Amino acid sequence: MKRIAPALILAAGLFLPAVGLAEDGVSPGTFVANNVWMMLCAGLVFIMHLGFATLESGLTRAKNTTNILFKNTFIVSAGILTYALLGFNLMYPGEFNGFLGFAGVGLGGGYDPAANTPGYADGGYTYWTDFLFQAMFAATAATIVSGAVAERIKLSAFMIFAAIFVAVVYTIAGSWKWGGGFLDGMGFYDFAGSTLVHSVGGWGALAGVLLLGPRLGKYVGGRVHPIPGSNMPLATVGVFLLWLGWFGFNGGSVLSADPALTSFVLVTTCLAASAGAVVAIGTSWFVFGKPDLSMALNGVLAGLVGITAGADTVGITSAVIIGAVAGALVVGSVMFFDRVKIDDPVGAISVHLTCGIWGTLAVGIFSTNPEHSVLVQLIGVACYGAFTFGAALALFGVLKLTIGIRVSEEEELEGLDLSEHGMHAYDLGAGPGWQEQTPGLASLGAAPSAAPALAGSES
Amino acid sequence: MKKIQAIIKPFKLDEAKQALADLNVVGMTVSEVKGFGRQKGHSELYRGAEYVVDFLPKVQLEVVVPDDLVEKVAMALTESARTGSIGDGKVFVLPVEDAVRIRTGEHGDSALT
């Protein structure tokens, strides 16, 4: 019985070309292609969460890795759930006043048959594809924050912040443009989210680190004491996963599988990423005196964030310029934040806020569409900044006053893995594995060992 | 019997091991340690900020030998681990009260050979 209905629909669909195209001009084959592409892109954006998890793990210390991974696992899971519960309908309320609207709790609209036909979104995708793709975007905003507040944030406070930030702040702000709100009406343009996703995450991150303070020992004695990352291969894996994910992030923001536009967007995206990397390499090498891998990696992301606002509407040369400028900006931004003692372990604020703003303004400068202007882009940046930064500040502020947002000094020194989770991420050589012993074995009559012997004792 | 404890540069381990084998010294224990003497650390760069690393990786090689081998072994280790540059390391000689072979229970010098 279950197989018959889809088969009938498919059969009926095959007749449609014979009677001309469906009402909106999209053939069934195109509809399928669009959905396949969009769902593939949703999967690619999803894998960016693995990219964030590994990048953050690589650029922070091993004693906090479990905590990083835990936060990243929670963010995407909670994000998808809250987006299904209310986020999607806050971001896309349908007809509303342009500032705040809500289309109701849950995803009931998806069960309307019309929601899964070419009529729903000009044949680009079904309701479910729409929800899924957008849901994957939503959680990336909070994940940006997790990198900046790493190694000292209190887990419970972060989980509460992230859940509310994604559910309500990201979504209401998003409705102003993608939901058809007032900024959309003004002509503000953000193709795939330099502002709506990246700068929103960046503002949240900035609010967080301002209220949190720097990690212990980072800015002692008037100097910057670097806290090097624990795993460069992992950081690199992360950035390449993110770059791969961007094929979906930008490619899917075309909102169909239009061959010309999607292929063009993927090209501008990759050109910007490459330019960002190369210029960041050159800039950091020149300024620091040695080629810094972490800056090269940040450069890739800077270029990607920079092109995200206008990947479909700027020319090829412009894409390279946008990426190149982003690559230089991110290096300067990282240095600036260290100079003013704002501690950002992974450069999240520099990559996502600084370059997110740049990418947005770049649309006004480089767009081939004469309706785009720097002024309107600037207004958009200001609106998102005021709202998102203010909301994040309020959220973190309330949490700081109630449950506290930072772990104790002792917990921070011991490492969040042990203090918050009671679980090491790595076998650092002092746990059961080192003795090749199962903790419970002693009770079976095997000789119990003494306290672990120090290295170098009598052989 | 004495314990000879040598702290040497890691890449010298193979030569030191070979020098001991040449003397028919059959066993040793090796551990990875960090340390410094007069050799200063080096500076590293991370995201534009410089920091000094004081402790350098070294290898600690320990071997317990009968008294008649002590001088030869100490010399062999010293010469095989020498590069001539600062940071070559040190050899220490410590007294040992007794040694026991776990498998057989033998004591004294026979536990060593």
User: How confident is residue A168, by pLDDT bands cut at 50, 70 and 90?
Assistant: very high
d(C-alpha A265, C-alpha A348), whole Å: 24
Closest by CA position to A131, among listed A88, A166, A100:
A88
d(C-alpha B2, C-alpha B99), whole Å: 10
- Compute the mean pLDDT over every residue in chain B, rounded to the nearest whole number: 94
pLDDT digits (tens, 9 = 90+) for A343-357: 999 999 999 999 999
Q: How far is A281 from chain B (nearest CA, A)?
A: 12
DSSP H stretches of helix in A289-315: 293-307
Angle between helices A390-402 and A200-212 (to 10 degrees): 30
d(C-alpha A107, C-alpha B3), whole Å: 75
Q: Which two tokens mark A312?
A: 């479909």
Average pLDDT over residues A150-165: 98
pLDDT at A452 over 50: no
pLDDT above 90 coverage of chain A, percent = 84
Average pLDDT over residues A396-406: 98
Q: What is the structure's pLDDT at A387?
A: 98
Residues of A in contact with B62 (CB under 8 A): 456, 458-459
Is residue A129 within 8 Å of residue A368, measured between CB atoms? no
Q: What is the structure's pLDDT at A8?
A: 55
CATH number of A34-411: 1.10.3430.10
Q: Does residue A429 sit at the B interface (CB-CB below 8 Å)?
A: no
The one-letter code for the residue type at A251 is G
Q: What is the pTM of this model?
A: 0.87
Q: Do A226 and B51 touch (CB under 8 A)?
A: yes
Q: What is the structure's pLDDT at B26?
A: 79
- Compute the mean pLDDT over every residue in chain A, rounded to the nearest whole number: 91
pLDDT at A30 over 60: yes
Q: What is the structure's pLDDT at A291?
A: 94
Determine which of A22-36, A126-140, A428-442, B85-99 has the lowest per-residue pLDDT on average.
Answer: A428-442
Q: How far is B45 from chain A (nearest CA, A)?
A: 8
Of A289, A294, A456, the CB nearest to B47: A294
Maximum separation of any 2 CA atoms in chain B, in Å: 59
Q: What is the structure's pLDDT at A458?
A: 42
Q: What is the structure's pLDDT at A207?
A: 98
Show which of residues 218-247 on chain A sit within 8 Å of chain B, judged by CB atoms.
223-226, 228
Q: What is the structure's pLDDT at A456?
A: 41
The one-letter code for the residue type at A425 is A
pLDDT at A198 over 60: yes
Q: Which two tokens mark A4?
A: 């018959």
Q: Which two tokens mark B84?
A: 């001539």
How are beta strands B42-46 and B29-35 bridged, if at all?
A: unpaired
Q: Which two tokens mark A10?
A: 């498919």
pLDDT digits (tens, 9 = 90+) for A214-239: 999 999 988 999 999 999 999 999 99
Average pLDDT over residues A172-194: 97
d(C-alpha A203, C-alpha A345), whole Å: 16
Q: What is the structure's pLDDT at A448?
A: 47
Q: Do A292 and B45 touch (CB under 8 A)?
A: yes
pLDDT digits (tens, 9 = 90+) for A78-125: 999 999 999 999 999 999 999 999 999 999 999 999 999 998 998 889
Q: Do B48 and A456 touch (CB under 8 A)?
A: no
Q: Do A459 and B29 touch (CB under 8 A)?
A: yes
Search chain B and give the residue with CA nearest A229.
B46
pLDDT at A15 over 90: no
Q: Which of 3.30.70.120, 3.40.50.2300, 3.40.640.10, 3.40.30.10 would CATH assign to domain B2-111?
A: 3.30.70.120
* E strand or H helix at A133: helix A127-148
Of A289, A334, A459, the CB nearest to B47: A334
pLDDT at A453 over 50: no
pLDDT digits (tens, 9 = 90+) for A265-324: 999 999 999 999 999 999 999 999 999 999 999 999 999 999 999 999 999 999 999 999
Closest by CA position to A188, among listed A359, A345, A364:
A364
Residues of A in contact with B33 (CB under 8 A): 455-456
DSSP state of B107: B
pLDDT digits (tens, 9 = 90+) for B28-69: 999 999 999 887 778 899 999 998 888 999 999 999 999 999
User: How confident is residue A442, by pLDDT bands cut at 50, 70 and 90?
Assistant: low
pLDDT at A339 over 50: yes
Q: What is the side-by-side strand order in the sheet with B56-65?
A: B29-35, B56-65, B2-8, B89-95
d(C-alpha A67, C-alpha A142), whole Å: 15
d(C-alpha A175, C-alpha A165), whole Å: 14
